[in-house]
Structure 1
Amino acid sequence: MNDAELQRRCHTIFPGHRARPPAELFAAMAAWCEANGVEHDVYGTGALLQAFEAKVARLLGMEAAVFCISGTMAQVTALRLASMDRGRDLVALHPTSHIFVHERSNYQLLGHFNALQAGDRYRPWTVSDLAAIPDRLGAVGMELPLREIGGQLSPWEELQAIKGHVRERGAHLHMDGARLWEAAAGYGKPLHEVAAGFDSVYVSLYKGIGGLGGAMLAGTRELVDRAAEWFRREGGNVIHRSPYVVAATMQFDGRLAAMPAYFERTQFLYEALASHPVIRVNPAAPQANMLHLHIPVPPERALAIRRELAEEHGIWMFNRIASAALPGTSSFELYVGDNLLDAPDDEVREALALFAAALAR
């Protein structure tokens, strides 16, 4: 039995939202389209798409937003344009930036801009991290929250200081907001307050929202229009965006409304984990509905434990796992979504106890 089949048989699933099979998801999309009279857009022109772009822009307090087929394309394009405008091709990024870690040197190989690592890879930025850079920066790219270190956020006051510092330097401040929806719940602030002071914001339509894929880039009307033209040049001008927009739009309001509950559930999980010191948690306290769990076994053993718990107890603990810094250890990301929100407290505690016991054997 493969992992997908095994996971479907489990009754207690820790990571993320329930994965709907394609037939079920497409049927739900078709019903929503019929109920709402949806027509395909054509190369980015269509009532549903443009209404959704305007809605995202309003939520973020921005003039405009445009759909992009991927966040990878949206981010480097925004930073490229910002650098071009200022005649400075140097962009400051956190060492764990998605651009460094997951985008295969696209900013460099495709000639978008030059990038500088700033700050400590194990903690969020402080304003002093940026103040220590003597170079004339064209742009600063800031991720909220920082996924690679467990969903950490810069403290609110520090975030405001960073916004002011970048503005004083005359640089463009861009937000990697792939998980901005989650960051707003962690801060306990509305989306437009978090986004205020940023010149551009990218948000994902599939990570927390649960859509098929796609992203939005928001900013001034001028920036958005120019970015849309660059998306065409870069191969992002798909004829129909409608499948991605429908999959996101039909559950968008519900997912946003649930973000505070996901965060509260993460706090419950964190408290439950305190009973199992064999499992180490990063960050020290939840800052968004995400945690990284560090365990004292290598990935191969962790995968064997996952299968054992799934087959014998109907528990699915994690999806992907990676080796950690210390020999013989590993870590995994746990995004708290509908699965844990719907799981009874006692079942969660029992699953953690079984997992911890298997790790200790």
Structure 2
Amino acid sequence: MEQTKTLIEAYNQASYPLIGHGKRNVQVLKEALEQWDAEQDSDMYGNGAIIENFEEKMAKLLGKESTVFFPSGTMAQQIALRIWCDEKGNKKVGYHPLSHLEIHEKDGMKELHHLEAVLLADVERPVLLHDLIGLEENIACLLLELPQREIGGQLPEFAELKAMSAFCRERGIKLHLDGARLFEILPYYDKSAQEVCALFDSVYISFYKGIGGIAGAILAGDRSFTEKSKIWKRRHGGDLISLYPYIIAADYYMERRLPHMKKYYREAQELAALYNGCEGMKTIPEVPVSNMFHVHTTAKKEQLDSILIDIAAKTGIGLSQSVRDKGEEGCYFEVNIGDRYDAAPKETLFEAFRLLDNKLQQNGERE
């Protein structure tokens, strides 16, 4: 077979791509819409049974008094932090240096809301209690991302999380959960969504990551908080005339995939063990604490790209569609497990890893 030009082409043409739930195309919406009566009325500007019933369902699931559906998590989280800072009369927000707000949002929180970031911990680990005890600045709100995506989905232990929650409540610091992947960490904590969310004053949930919907987010908290968030949602232009395609997809894929989160978690551990058995490779975390992890290797990016392309051609196994360069340290890529992983025959998967290990050894011998 002729070698494909790029890694993403090889991955997309592989018989068994391992990452996620599947292609993000129109079929995602078509499948969800098939479950609904064509006569169902749409929501209008944040009102209507379809949105209100879903918000009530999410409030019960998360154990919060009220929730609001947003078209994006970026909008929802900036608004949550603005509300808490206004309430405290303090513009400072604490979060991890690799928080989504800090590295992916073009300083939206700072430019739109004039809030100030206080960076906690370091880039190698999640925020822990001793980071708060040593905090010299007074903050209105602390944002914790569970899991911390940019460092492989690492988590603090649940006892540590409870201690940080107690610390914040004793000092009047509002605690916000960036729970974009909340459901994916519940198997590791062996806790319900309500038990985790009870530690936080406000909670954000994504519907397109582990859930696999189209887009959209939920912001949860007490009713006073969510009523204020509705005002800011209107100010941000978030009250689209209708959001029902997002809501229908979110509801459908939650029902379909939440029961499988423990399965995805166990499969991530299985796959990480295979990577850790290969020459010059290691996963972070070594044993995953959710359905995601990062794979680091001492090989150069262009070398690993070529190896992964060849493996896809010879075995049909697509290990990754994208590799990130770390310069002299090598390269890495992200793995998240969904419906696709289980489709790969185990013997074919093991053969792909035998090839990966052999090629990495050969690559190391040449250097």
TM-score (norm 1): 0.94
The residue number in structure 2 matching 1:17 is 21
**SS across alignment from 1:33:** coil
2:242 counterpart SS class? coil
Per-residue Cα deviation, 1:20-50 (whole angstroms, up to 9, x for no partner): 532x334323322237x53211111121221
Secondary structure of residue in 2 paired with 1:115:
strand
List runs of 5+ in structure 2 lacking aligned partners. none
1:34 to 33, 37, 55: 37
**Residues 284-318 of structure 1: CA deviation (Å, up to 9, x unaligned):** 22111111001222333333333323333322111
Question: Counterpart of 1:213?
Answer: 215
Letter in 1 for 2:340: N
Cα distance change, pair 130–9 in 1 and its aligned pair in 2 (3 A): same
State how 1:132-143 maps to structure 2 within 5 Å: 132-143=134-145
Specify the SS of the correspondent of 1:32. Answer: coil
Q: CA deviation at 1:8?
A: 4.3
Matched residue, 2:192: 190
**Higher alpha-carbon deviation: 216-225 or 300-309:** 300-309
TM-superposed deviation, 1:263: 0.7
Instruction: Assess if the C-alpha contact under 8 Å between 1:10 and 1:316 holds in 2.
Output: yes
Task: Tell me if structure 2 keeps the 8 A contact 1:186–1:289.
Answer: no
1:76, 1:112 within 8 Å by CA — same for their partners in 2? no
Instruction: Say if 2:74 is the partner of 1:72.
Output: yes
Given the superposition, is the C-alpha separation of residues 3 and 321 from structure 1 closer, same or farther in structure 2, using an over 3 Å criterion? closer
Q: Does the aligned pair in 1 maintain the 2:141–2:173 contact within 8 Å?
A: yes
1:278 to 255, 277, 280: 280
Q: Does structure 2 conserve the Cα–Cα contact (< 8 Å) formed by 1:176 and 1:201?
A: yes
Measured in 1, the distance between the counterparts of 2:236 and 2:284 equals: 37
Task: Quickly say closer, same or farther: Cα 1:33–1:115, change in 2 above 3 A.
Answer: same
Change (3 A) 1:108 1:29: same
Q: Which residue of 2 aligns with 1:345?
A: 346
Matched letter for residue 21 of structure 1 = N
Taking the aligned partners of 2:166 and 2:126, their CA distance within structure 1 comes to: 17
Query: Is it true that 1:356 corresponds to 2:357 in the alignment?
Result: yes
The structure-2 alpha-carbon separation of the partners of 1:157 and 1:306, relative to structure 1 and needing over 3 Å to count, comes to: same
Please list every run of 5 or more consecutive structure 1 residues that lacks an aligned counterpart in the other structure.
Answer: none
1:323 to 300, 322, 325: 325
Aligned to 1:56: 58
Q: How does 1:287-326 map to 2 (within 5 A)?
A: 287-324=289-326
Task: Report the CA distance between 1:238 and its aligned residue.
Answer: 1.0
Q: Superposed, which structure 2 residues align to 1:253-268 within 5 Å?
A: 253-268=255-270
State the shift of 1:5 in Å. Answer: 6.1
Report the secondary structure of 1:285's partner residue. coil
RMSD: 1.8
**In the alignment, structure 1 residue 238 sits paired with structure 2 residue 250:** no
Identity of paired residues, percent?
36
Partners of 2:165 and 2:200 within 8 A in 1: yes
- The code of the aligned residue for 1:17 comes to H
Moved more, 157-166 or 54-63: 54-63
Contact 1:177–1:201 (8 Å) recurs in 2: yes
Kept in 1: contact 2:279–2:360 (CA 8 A): no
Q: Is the 8 A contact 1:69 1:236 kept in 2?
A: yes
Q: CA deviation at 1:229?
A: 1.2
C-alpha displacement of 1:4: 6.4
Whether the aligned pair in 2 keeps the contact of 1:77 and 1:112 (CA below 8 Å) is no
Residues 95 and 117, structure 2, Cα contact 8 Å, conserved in 1 = yes
**SS of alignment partner, residue 157 of structure 1:** helix
More divergent stretch after superposition (84-93 vs 110-119): 110-119
Deviation at 1:120, TM superposition (A): 2.1
- Secondary structure (helix, strand or coil) at the match of 1:238 reads coil
The separation in 2 between residues aligned to 1:49 and 1:189, in whole angstroms, is 27
Shift of 1:328: 5.3
Q: For residues 94 and 280 of structure 1, what CA distance do their matches in structure 2 show?
A: 23
Distance in 2 (alpha carbons) for counterparts of 1:233 and 1:224: 14
Distance of 2:215 and 2:122 partners within structure 1: 31
Change (3 A) 1:189 1:342: farther
For the residues of structure 1 that align with 2:306 and 2:334, how far apart are their CA atoms?
17
Residue type matched to 1:278 in 2?
A: G
Q: Aligned-pair distance for 1:272?
A: 2.5
Tell me how far apart the structure 1 counterparts of residues 341 and 47 of structure 2 sit (CA, whole Å).
Answer: 38
Pairwise CA distance, 1:231: 1.3
Which string of whole-angstrom CA distances, capped at 9 and with x for unpartnered residues, describes residues 89-140 of structure 1? Answer: 1111011111112111111122341110011221122211011112221000
Query: C-alpha separation between the residues in 2 aligned to 1:313 and 1:345?
Result: 12
Write out per-residue CA displacement over residues 48-90 of structure 1, whole angstroms, 9 at most, x where no aligned residue: 2211111111111101111111111111110011011001111
Instruction: Choose 314-323 or 236-245, whichever is displaced more.
Output: 314-323
Q: Distance in 1 between matches of 2:304 and 2:40?
A: 45
The alpha carbon displacement at 1:6 in A equals 4.5
Shift of 1:349: 1.9
Instruction: In structure 2, give the amino acid aligned to 1:258.
Output: H
Q: Select the residue among 171, 176, 179 that pairs with 1:177.
A: 179
Q: CA deviation at 1:242?
A: 0.5
Distance 1:305 1:238 in 2: 46
